[in-house]
A and B are shown apart, each in its own frame.
Chain A
Amino acid sequence: KQEVTQIPAALSVPEGENLVLNCSFTDSAIYNLQWFRQDPGKGLTSLLLIQSSQREQTSGRLNASLDKSSGRSTLYIAASQPGDSATYLCAGGRYGQNFVFGPGTRLSVLP
C-alpha cells in the first residue's frame, strides 16, 4: 500500500526566508505528482502538477521537483511571505491509480 510522508509536519519561519518542504512515497513509481495549498477551513488549491515526462515545475516563487528514482519530491518557496501561511499537501500515484495524499506540512510565516 502506498504511504506518503511529509516533513516537517509544521514549520514556523520569519518573513523573507527561503524554505523547502519534503514529500516522500514508499512506492517510487509515481506517475504524476501534485502539490496543493489548503487555507484553514477551506478546500485544496492546486499549486503545481509534475507530469510523467517532467522532473520539475515552477510557478512564481514556487518550484517543485520530483526524483522518480527515490519517490521524493520537494517544494521550494522563495522569499516567503505571511500570505504563504497555510497547509501544503502533496499527492501522487501510479499510472491509472488514484492519488494518495500526504498528511501535510503546516507553514506559518511570521511578519
Chain B
Amino acid sequence: NAGVTQTPKFQVLKTGQSMTLQCAQDMNHEYMSWYRQDPGMGLRLIHYSVGAGITDQGEVPNGYNVSRSTTEDFPLRLLSAAPSQTSVYFCASSYGGGSDYEQYFGPGTRLTVT
C-alpha cells in the first residue's frame, strides 16, 4: 500500500493565483482531512470529509474549497492565493471519523505565496 500520497511536494504561487493540492489514499478509509501547519501553532484543521460526497469545515476554512467525488481522492483548492496561506499542508485519512480512529498522514505540500 502507498498509504496517503500528496502532490506536489513543493509549490510557489503568486498572490491571486489558484491551484489544487492533490491527496489520495489506498486504504479504503472513509474519513479524510486537510491540515495546515505553521510554526508554533501546531496543526489546524481546514476541511474534512466523512465519505464521498460529504464535506465539512474545520477550524480555518476561509480561502479553501474541497470536494470528495471518490473514496480515494480529496483535493484541496486555493481559490485566490494570499501570503497568509504560506504553510505546509498535510492530508490525513482514517477508517472512521473524528478522533475515534488512528490517523495516517501524507508527506505534506510546502506552499509559498509571494
Which A residues lie at the B interface, using CB under 8 A?
4, 30-32, 34, 36, 41-46, 49, 89, 91-99, 101-104
Interface size on B, residues (CB 8 A): 25
Distance between A39 CB and nearest chain B CB, rounded to angstroms: 10
B43 at the interface (CB under 8 A from A): yes
Q: Which residues of B contact A92 (CB under 8 A)?
A: 99
Q: Is the CB of A98 within 8 A of B98?
A: yes
B44, B92, B100, B110: most-surrounded residue (chain A CB, <10 A): B100
| 13 A–B contacts from the bound complex (CB under 8 Å) | A32-B100, A42-B107, A43-B90, A44-B90, A45-B105, A46-B102, A46-B105, A93-B98, A93-B99, A97-B98, A98-B33, A98-B99, A99-B103
Interface contact B42-A89, CB-CB below 8 Å:
yes
- Residues of chain B contacted by A95 (CB below 8 angstroms): 98-100
- How long is the Cα–Cα vector from A42 to B44 in the complex, in angstroms? 17
Residues of A near B104 (CB, < 8 A) are 46
B45 touches A103 (CB 8 A): no
Contacts of A41 in B (CB 8 A): 110
Minimal beta-carbon separation of A56 from chain B (angstroms):
16
CB neighbours (8 Å) of A34 from chain B are 99, 102-103
Residues in chain B within 8 A of chain A (CB atoms): 33, 35, 40-45, 48, 58, 90, 92, 97-108, 110
Instruction: Report yes or no: A103 in contact with B42, Cβ–Cβ below 8 A.
Output: yes
New A-B pairs, 17, CB < 8 Å, besides A43-B90, A101-B44, A102-B42: A31-B99, A42-B107, A43-B105, A43-B107, A43-B108, A44-B43, A46-B102, A46-B103, A46-B104, A89-B43, A93-B98, A94-B98, A96-B98, A97-B99, A101-B35, A101-B42, A104-B42
**Residue of A with least CB distance to B107:** A43
* Contact yes or no, A31 B90, CB < 8 A: no
Chain A residues positioned under 8 Å from B43 (CB to CB): 44, 89, 91, 101
